[in-house]
Each structure stands twice: as structure tokens, then as C-alpha cells.
Amino acid sequence: MKLESQREVQNTREKLRLLEEHYQHKREQPAEDEHVRELTLRSLKKLINQLKEEIARYEAHAAKPAKSE
């Protein structure tokens, strides 16, 4: 997915915040099955990293100075 506007970035940041809160909460909870929890945490982390990359790509592109003629 490629972010294309500031509004999309804001929405993605909000999703990222929810995911990070949830990840932290999950890490602190006792697990019924440690293996299942480990795989779940890995999935959450993967998605968190994907969203961070998308935001960073947008910001890197937005910060790039315009080419002079």
C-alpha cells in the first residue's frame, strides 16, 4: 500500500497507535498458550512495521526538495 495524502498518513498513524497499544497490552498479559501468543505477537509486530514503513516512505517523499530545472 502506498500512502498518498496527509489525511491517509493521519489515519495510518491512528491505526498504528492502536496496534502499538494492543501489542504492549498483549505482551504484559499472561498467556494460555505461549506458542500461540508468540506467533500472535509476531503478526502484530509485522503489521506495526509495515505501517511504520508506509509512513516513513510518504514522509521521505514529501520531504524531498523539488528538482531545479
Partner 1 sequence: MIPDFNQYGCLPRGVYRATLDEVEQRFGRQSELRRVQMASLRWLVDLAKPAGVRRLVINGSFVTDIFEPNDVDCVLLMVQGFPEDREAEPDLAEGLPFLDIHLVDQEDFDFFTESVFATDRHQVPKGMVEVIL
**Where do contacts with partner 1 occur on this chain (CB under 8 A)?**
1, 3, 7-8, 11-12, 15, 18-19, 22, 26, 32-33, 35-37, 39-40, 42-44, 46-47
Q: Which lies closer to partner 1 via its Cβ, residue 50 or residue 66?
A: 50
Q: Which lies closer to partner 1 via its Cβ, residue 34 or residue 69?
A: 34
DSSP secondary structure, 1-69, as one string: ----SHHHHHHHHHHHHHHHHHHHHHHHS--SSHHHHHHHHHHHHHHHHHHHHHHHHHHHHHHSPPPP-
Q: Which lies closer to partner 1 via its Cβ, residue 26 or residue 57?
A: 26
